[in-house]
Structure 1
């Protein structure tokens, strides 16, 4: 089997959500506020209802601290048949941690989530896409913990994150000269003016019009490739609290939140979405006897 693997079946799209509070962010000199409530539980109810109404399954990358604060929400995600995966414990950047701190952080979150759901956690996504070239070897820690996939790599270059030369298809990465027993599920990109650019998650999802996202997903599917959508609960709610950010960061963090819920619903009705784990099981012959 080659390092860059092709799906056994046809193209399928994946729906993912990063489950965190409105104040979980990684901007310098921005301290998390205290003493404020949130619309988190209501926004999660909305996302789960949208999945039911569109017959969509998704992967929910959940912070361990969310599991502690909202155990009923995590149980509801699992009860609806979705993939509960790890987003770390407290939204710390992976590249700001030592590998031992990273391993302990992921394990702590995995233990919390598994105790809540009674099922094995299979995957991980780093906060703010913080698996980059200099800490790519941290994927070995995920393999040691028994995880089956990582979804932390964004094949773009921004001032915050990205590995622009990373493979853009699902593959088993090579680290320290060997192929890991772990799938990498990179975020979807398309070529624009010779550069990779995201189109189906976070700021990109909020920035681009629905017709463009629809075109990009269909174009990827015609080529036999999958697209991944990702959003945060705060991105569907104009009334949620907001961080006090400098202009550029505020634009990236909050642009067009008012149009996101409707756009997401339209995209969910236009395509069939499944979770990452189900996609790997069905299309990559992933063996999960202990799932």
Structure 2
């Protein structure tokens, strides 16, 4: 049964990668010989978007475009935003600026050749735009991109800029405001600190009633929330990396319940892609 949606518009995003793409230290080389359920995951995500009348931004790895060109074309054909997630899921803060530029350009060239449309946005693997490499955003500006969605205003062992603005803005880099929108991940205050609630581990960890409350609260204040998930997060039976306890908990907690929670959230609120949100609310030029 279709539920009545709240009026405010939020943003739906997916980071499109395989089950073995991760950036924890000292991961054993995964056995890829058994393949994956990637195509089934993508069919499911696209179906859910259709059935809930939601548009999304799909941040796609360049190597996914090479391995699954038909999937990338299907995303674009259904009216979603195809954006870059880099080429091979390498941490941006472990790349030199030239390596970063080459990595992003390689992915953009692959995606644009597949879809025939300009790539407008980027999200770094594992939120790896941090304070030390914030100037890498100038590379995206040089490439003519319109937005970045790589900054998480929290602090974890892997990523985050806890002092970053929590609203969409044009960041200042090297003393000037760059011509690029930053779309930071949604956070709520808990114990005086920013914490995510609507994507990845946070989406899987928090009960849906709390997520709905947080989204509704943001919308009442005139703000939008961002949901993000990976294809592997909707499948408890997908292959798994051999990870230490903490990383395993973060990576796989509650994957068996994610799909139903996602469908419920998407039926309860309005969601669109980042590019459509920026065009409608910030008059973004394309």
Same fold per superposition (TM over 0.5): yes
SS in 2 for 1:169: coil
SS in 1 for 2:104: helix
Matches within 5 A, 1:276-291: 276-288=274-286
Match 2:197 to one of 196, 199, 207? 199
SS in 2 for 1:128: helix
1:263 aligns with 2:253: no
Quote how far apart the aligned CAs of 1:287 are.
1.2
Quote how far apart the aligned CAs of 1:29 are.
1.4
TM-score (norm 2): 0.96
1:18 aligns with 2:21: no
Deviates most, 199-208 or 23-32: 23-32
Structure 1 residue ranges (4+ consecutive) displaced by more than 3 angstroms after TM superposition: none
Structure 1 partner of 2:159: 161
On the 8 A contact 1:24/1:32 being kept in 2, the answer is no
Gaps of 5+ in 2: 1-6
1:75 aligns with 2:73: yes
SS in 1 for 2:82: strand
Quote how far apart the aligned CAs of 1:11 are.
4.5
1:241-267 CA-to-partner distances (Å, cap 9, x unmatched) read: 000000000000000001100000000
Quote how far apart the aligned CAs of 1:177 are.
0.4
SS in 2 for 1:57: coil
1:175 aligns with 2:179: no
Residues 32 and 94 (structure 1), Cα distance of their counterparts in 2 relative to 1, 3 Å cut: farther
SS in 2 for 1:156: coil
1:18-55 CA-to-partner distances (Å, cap 9, x unmatched) read: 00000000011113433230000000000000000000
SS in 2 for 1:13: strand
SS in 2 for 1:18: strand
1:185-208 CA-to-partner distances (Å, cap 9, x unmatched) read: 000001111000000000000000
Deviates most, 10-19 or 104-113: 10-19
For residues 102 and 172 of structure 2, what CA distance do their matches in structure 1 show? 23
Structure 1 partner of 2:143: 145
SS in 2 for 1:269: helix
SS in 1 for 2:14: strand
Note the aligned Cα RMSD (angstroms).
0.8
For residues 216 and 22 of structure 1, what CA distance do their matches in structure 2 show? 29
For residues 72 and 61 of structure 1, what CA distance do their matches in structure 2 show? 16
For residues 145 and 241 of structure 1, what CA distance do their matches in structure 2 show? 36
1:200-220 CA-to-partner distances (Å, cap 9, x unmatched) read: 000000000010000000000
Structure 1 partner of 2:45: 47
Quote how far apart the aligned CAs of 1:12 are.
2.0
Structure 2 partner of 1:85: 83
On the 8 A contact 2:8/2:270 being kept in 1, the answer is no
Matches within 5 A, 1:63-142: 63-142=61-140
